[in-house]
Each structure stands twice: as structure tokens, then as C-alpha cells.
Amino acid sequence: MNIFVLMKRTFDTEEKISISGGKINEDGAEFIINPYDEYAIEEAIQVRDAQGGEVTVITVGSEEAEKQLRTALAMGADKAVLINTEDDLEYSDQFTTAKILAEYLKDKDADLIIGGNVAIDGGSGQVGPRVAELLNIPYVTTITNLEINGSTVTVVRDVEGDSEVIETSLPLLVTAQQGLNEPRYPSLPGIMKAKKKPLDELELDDLDLEEDDVEAKTKTIEIYLPAQKQAGKVLEGELADQVKELVSLLHNEAKVV
């Protein structure tokens, strides 16, 4: 089975993030594999082990993403591909990323493509479905279970607190939701093996794409941190007095009533 994983390098939201010049200050940021993509990588490895085949992890970005690709290889992926756009694109969005990925995948005869449900730095959840539309293959998002029997695939997807069971067929693109599996940690032997596994680097020219072909359809106007929350206020006294004080605060301070 020919399996591809769409991976993104993201900053770690568990770490402190600072803004400089209207952009996230990358000098002090810690970068990781997008957590939802870790579920995708793990699922791809499990499918390969059960069905046979090969797992290739792809990312679009800068050379710095090689570290995260090597981590995916250490987890157990077979190959990695970096489509380096650092020198070609001043700005990219979900359209750009999907267009590049689809152009790479169009002649790869992929049986299964797996991506994360969303990227924690953007949260749009658009790239996976856009790639499937460009490749003209079916897709199912936010999956929590995947079973493959020949060319028939049964998936369970999360639908806001409930589950939906869908039967479809290969080739297929799915996006992984939390709960699909438990991603493994790279082992020391896996890390050593990852150094020898193939990691190919491509550019837009290698895909016969021009900058105009992948020009972003959106533009970020401003990036800013959320306003600092003020300390809460505890109301005391009799219940009737608390109600009066609450109404007064909502009217005079919060100005919502």
C-alpha cells in the first residue's frame, strides 16, 4: 500500500510565544511536529505494518522542517520529502500548501493519504480536504478509527461529541482526530535508522510550478497576543445583595446590560 502523510512544522503552543514586528518571534519559539499530524504518522505506520507497503511523510516549508521530518522517520516512516519554498514564496496560505502538495501527489498513485485534523497554529483544517478535491478523491475528516479490508475502508469520525460511521473506498484521504491512536516516541534504534533513510528535497521548479500558480488567496493583516485577563471578583454577603452587586457591575463596569 502506498501511504503518504501530510505533516506540518508548527511552533509549540505549550511554550511562551512572543510577537515582534507583527510576526511570531521564531528565535525564541520551540518548533515541533503538529500534534494532530503525529496521530496521522502513527496511523500510517500501523496501516503499513498491517497491510504492507510504504509510508512517505511530506511537508512544505523551509529547511528547518528537516528536523521534524527526521523525527517522523525515527517514529517508523520509510521516506520523507521536503518541498522547500523558503526562497520562492514570501507568503503562503492553505491554498498554496494544498496546491503544492496536490501537484506532488498527482502522479504518485497514493492509496491512502493521512493528515492531521487541524494545525494548532492556524486551526483552519483546510489543507487535507483541499488536497483531496484537487486530486479528485474521496476524503473523510476528524476520524477516530480506520479499518481497511481490500479496497473498502470503514471509518469512524468525530462529529462534535458523537460518532459517524462511513464506508468508502481507496484511494482515500483522511484527517486524524485525537483518540485515533497513541503516537509512539522515537526509539534510539529508530533515531539511528532515521539518519540513513531517504529524505528528498524539492523546490517549486521541480514540480513545474511558478510563483503565480501558488499565490496565496488570503493575507494576514495583523498578529497579536490575546489581552491579558483581569483578576476575577468574588461576591460576598447575602444572595440578594450579591445579585444586586452583580447587576450593578454588569451595568456600570462590564457595560453588557
Same domain, 81 and 147: yes
CB atoms < 10 A from the CB of 256, how many? Answer: 7
CB-count exposure of residue 183 (10 Å: 0-12, 13-18, 19+): middle
Residue 248 structural domain: 227-257
- The whole-number pLDDT of residue 136 equals 97
Closest CA to 109 of 135, 148, 77: 135
pLDDT tens track for 174-220? 999 999 999 999 999 999 999 999 999 999 999 988 888 899 998 88
Chain-wide mean pLDDT for the chain?
Answer: 91
Global confidence as pTM: 0.86
Average pLDDT over residues 67-87: 95
Statement to judge: residues 190 and 251 lie in one domain: no
Same domain, 194 and 243: no
d(Cα 32, Cα 14) in Å, to the nearest integer? 11
Check whether residue 146 and residue 57 sit in a common domain.
Answer: yes
Residues 145 and 183 in one domain: yes
C-alpha to C-alpha distances, 104 to 58, 107, 114, nearest whole angstrom: 9, 7, 15
The answer on pLDDT for 94 being more than 70 is: yes
On the question of pLDDT at 239 being above 80, the answer is yes
Residue 95 sits in a domain whose CATH number is 3.40.50.620
Q: Is residue 157 assigned to a domain? A: yes
pLDDT band at 120 (very low <50, low <70, confident <90, very high): confident
| 145 plus 235 within the same structural domain | no
With a cut of 90, say whether residue 226 has pLDDT above it: no
Rounded mean pLDDT, 239-250: 89
